[in-house]
Amino acid sequence: MDETGNDADPNTPDRESSEETDDDQPDRDNFGTDLDDVVLDDIDTGEDGATDEASRGLFDDLLSGEPIFENKEVLRPSYTPHKLPHREEQINNIATILVSALRGDTPSNILIYGKTGTGKTASAKFVSEELETTSQKYEVPCMVEYINCEVTDTQYRVLAQLANKFIEQNRTYIGDRIEELDTLRERATSNPDGDLLAETDFATVDEIDAEIERLEADRAEFEEVPMTGWPTDRVYSSFFDAVDYHERVVVIMLDEIDKLVEKSGDDTLYNLSRMNSELERSRVSIMGISNDLKFTDFLDPRVKSSLGEEEIVFPPYDATQLRDILDHRSDVAFKSDALTDDVIPLCAAFAAQEHGDARRALDLLRTAGELAERDQTDCVEEDHVRQAQEKIELDRVVEVVRTLPTQSKIVLFAIILLEKNGVHNINTGEVFNIYKRLCEEIDADVLTQRRVTDLISELDMLGIVNAVVVSKGRYGRTKEISLSVPIDETEAVLLSDSRLGDIEDVQPFVQARFDN
């Protein structure tokens, strides 16, 4: 008999017998099953022994194979390696400039240039870590603060983030100092006749108490800066006071510094570069990192002269250098014998085509490894690298299209509609006619045909379309436009935009190419 007093048929599932259970029975689900008695391992596998893969065993199967990776993190851009091949000269140049910080002097400001994936940030972080480690060894107060200006891209945010970092450090510094003074006071109090204070800055215990009281008051005065809401001059004042609280040399590393200038102008750089004339205890040096060799052209001449005291250029890697980098990282990232011989040369060759981008090479190798793991193969092969190349390229296209301004998305959507309906050698006039109809449909402003032509040129520069100027003889010249990206995936990204997604019937817009 079962728990309800009914005769239980051993061949009858619990679900059928549960219809006669008491509704008030505690801890039971809708089928009368006692939830405390459920054991996943006891699930009936059926006559053929097949389990419901959707309910259990999903991750067991995925974990059953041998892993290919030993430490995947070393293939990510955020990882700072212990050795940077083919960047010894640049690293030595940075170190030669920053070594003056270990002598208590102010290092020259540095601007580091180079294209994406040339090792700028990794080299700068490597030198910075060495600088901080050596400063602790020689007991010289020296620190490096890193700011990514692509994320922290306004003067307020930069100053607020720096201020809060130094406020936190000052609180730690004050706490350690109070702890030292408490220990000294206890020793002096327990031995009043001794001369423990003779070699200190205090003559009496009362002076120690006064210093502790002053430090506690200082700690209470430090107020964290909110991310919004304060006047900028108050934020700067808070940052200035926090930096100058005690003696130290500070290197402020501004990665993607051109993004800060592009978004907020050069006020931040002007204030930071002029700080040393007002600081009493500390010294500040700036290390700017940029992909744009010409961004200083837009700076105030005074900022440009003080910021670019030293300039270091990172050249692109060639295929051989990229292969060395991948060999070095793969030794740590993968299990032994996890790569076939042609994997690293192919990754290096693909990345060398992208202006020697080591970041691209590492992404390729990591993605190829992930694809191999999904296939549950024993090693990464050439085919996985080619699949990874296609996947990364598609991801790049999706991200570029997703972040386009609305007007550029409308222009691109017009080109897609024409191509999907078999129109070849698309010209600017055809795109403009459909663009106008799309703008009217979603209630967007209609730009001039000249401006739409400029947007097409921008899409061409991004590699999304291919626009070639052709001569039509006495009819003048026009642009012939074609897509350079997968049409279905690009259309899906555009339609995910809330405004373009409202367009239900696109056929009338395609007919508009014959208007006018």
Please enumerate, by residue number, every residue annotated as part of a binding site for ATP.
118-122, 317, 329
Q: What share of the chain is helix, strand, coil (3-state, %, to 5)?
A: 55, 10, 35
Tokens representing residue 170 in the block: 């000052």
* 456/415 Cα distance (integer angstroms): 10
* 121/144 Cα distance (integer angstroms): 13
- Strand 477-483 and strand 465-471: the pairing is antiparallel
Cα dihedral 4, 9, 10, 12 sign: negative
Secondary structure (DSSP) of 429-468:
HHHHHHHHHHHHHHT-PPPPHHHHHHHHHHHHHTTSEEEE
* 165/161 Cα distance (integer angstroms): 6
Nearest to 242 by CA among 168, 156, 166, 172: 166
Residue ranges of the binding site: 118-122, 317, 329
Residues 6+ apart with CB under 8 A from 407: 444, 445, 447, 455
Which residues sit opposite 254 in a β-bridge? 147, 288
* 77/356 Cα distance (integer angstroms): 15
SS3 label, residue 70? coil
Tokens representing residue 243 in the block: 């930096």
* 314/118 Cα distance (integer angstroms): 6
